[in-house]
Amino acid sequence: MESEGATFKQMLDRLEQIAEMLEREDLELEQSLALFEEAVGLLKASKQKLSESRQRVERLLGSLEEGVEAEPLESEEEEAEEG
């Protein structure tokens, strides 16, 4: 799964699939390592999405405390195009 274009839920679903597959004992070592590597990438991408979401919430809460209207945030698609 390409984690860059995936939603947070899609990444969590894939992580659950990987966990179930790794719990089986019929995988070859190389298959297990490839799945583990994919899971690490998904975990990193998930952590990044959570961090970005937290920053967005903090900006919105900060704008409420200051009495300033919240600025519209760029959509994920716009951010992806810039990055």
In tens digits, the chain (83 residues) has pLDDT values of 666 788 999 999 999 999 999 998 899 999 999 999 999 999 999 999 999 999 999 988 888 877 655 566 676 556 556 55
Beta strands in 1-83 (DSSP E): none
Spell 48-65 as b/e; 16+ CB within 10 A means b.
ebeeeeeeeeeeeeeeee
Give dist(CA 28, CA 6) in Å, integer: 27
Residue 20's pLDDT is 95
Asked if 1 and 45 count as a contact pair (C-beta separation under 8 A), the reply is no
Residue 5's pLDDT is 80
Residue 71's pLDDT is 64
Residue 8's pLDDT is 93
